[in-house]
Amino acid sequence: MSSPALECINVSKTYFLGKDIEVKALRNVSLRVERGDFISIIGPSGSGKSTLLHIAGTLDRPTSGRVLIDGVDVTELSESELTAFRKNKIGFVFQFFNLITNLSAIENVMLPMLLSRRYMLKEARLKALHLLRLVGFPEDRLRNPPNRLSGGQQQKVAIARALANNPTYILADEPTGNLDVSSSAEIIATLKLLNNFGNTIIIVTHNVELARITNKIFFMRDGQIYEEAPRSFLERMPMDEAALESKRRIQLDILRLERENIERLFKSRMISSESYERALKNLEDKELRVKH
């Protein structure tokens, strides 16, 4: 059996603000997220949601407890190991993880692929194009820099960028936070689609509409986490069949590009046969989910 995407075990985080002043932002939080899950975390302001997301993103370390990502205990990794790990295993859609202002939309999505050194320029450009199509980004805006895009369009770029390196999961802190109702609805539909296609997604949100399309809702209060009653229903995504079919084709194209990339890396001995086998298995699992 494969390990869960994320496992937080008795995670606590205390901020020490000076002598005798401490803030217990997280108290013994345990959370397990399986591959393919789509979970939301809700709760009042100051309850620890962003703190937990930062820890799940290895941007912050817990004061105590363990965090396993893809079966790897990240609390034991050094800073430089963490940086590499984070780049390839986690996709961020955070408000403060802004897009790079002097790069175009498509270049923003290409950048993580180029930095990973697993993709050639041509491969990165083609995959970025497909990812942007998948999230419904308008094709006549590919060359626009972020300041010439709407909020909803910028968020789509951020989501496409988060997917660039096939992360174990995507973390999103208030992904609809600054958006109007219709852009929010588009982002919600996009996240649902991406999850249907096999991506694991963890979001923090105040948006009830967004929380209710996820598979599991967790509630935080005073640094503690509670699981709401398990949801017995999976709502169908509000998308017509023709639109869904076209997204399916785009996703299958991306998986095909990915397979070509993996094969090139393997042939040029840039990855081991174990990573090659694992990647192929992963791609096959995803293909099944998309076709299903």
Ligand X SMILES: Nc1ncnc2c1ncn2[C@@H]1O[C@H](COP(=O)(O)OP(=O)(O)OP(=O)(O)O)[C@@H](O)[C@H]1O
Q: Using CB under 6 A as the criterion, which residues of the chain lie in contact with ligand X when the complex forms?
A: 15, 17, 23, 25, 43, 45-51
Distance, CA of 168 to CA of 6 (rounded, Å)? 9
Binding mask 39-78 for Mg ion (x = CB under 5 A): -----------x----------------------------
Q: Which does 46 bind (CB under 5 to 8 A by kind): ligand X, Mg ion, none?
A: ligand X
> In whole angstroms, what separates CA 75 from the centre of its chain?
20
| Shortest distance (Å) from residue 103 CB to Mg ion | 27
Return the number of the residue (43 or 62) whose C-beta is nearest ligand X: 43
Residue 145 binding target from Mg ion, ligand X, none, CB below 5 to 8 Å by type: none
Find all residues with CB under 8 Å of 159, minimum gap 6, and list them: 93, 135, 170, 172, 175, 187, 190, 191, 194
Q: Which of 226, 211, 232, 290 is nearest to 258 (CA)?
A: 290
Contact 283, 255 (CB under 8 A): yes
| Burial category of 122 from C-beta neighbours within 10 Å (exposed 0-12, middle 13-18, buried 19 and up) | exposed
- DSSP label of 230: P
State yes or no: residue 196 binds Mg ion (CB under 5 A): no
- The reply on whether position 205 binds Mg ion by CB under 5 A is no
By a kind-dependent CB cut-off of 5 to 8 A, residue 261 interacts, out of Mg ion, ligand X, none, with none
The least distance separating ligand X from the CB of residue 41, rounded to whole angstroms, comes to 8
> Least Å distance between CB 174 and ligand X?
7
234 binds, among Mg ion, ligand X, none (CB under 5 to 8 A by kind): none
Asked if 200 touches Mg ion (CB under 5 A), the answer is no
**Encoded tokens for 127:** 């995959």
Closest CA to 90 of 105, 106, 77, 107: 77
Number of residues that bind Mg ion (CB under 5 A): 1
Give min distance, CB of 17 to ligand X, in A: 6
Binding site for Mg ion (CB under 5 A): 50
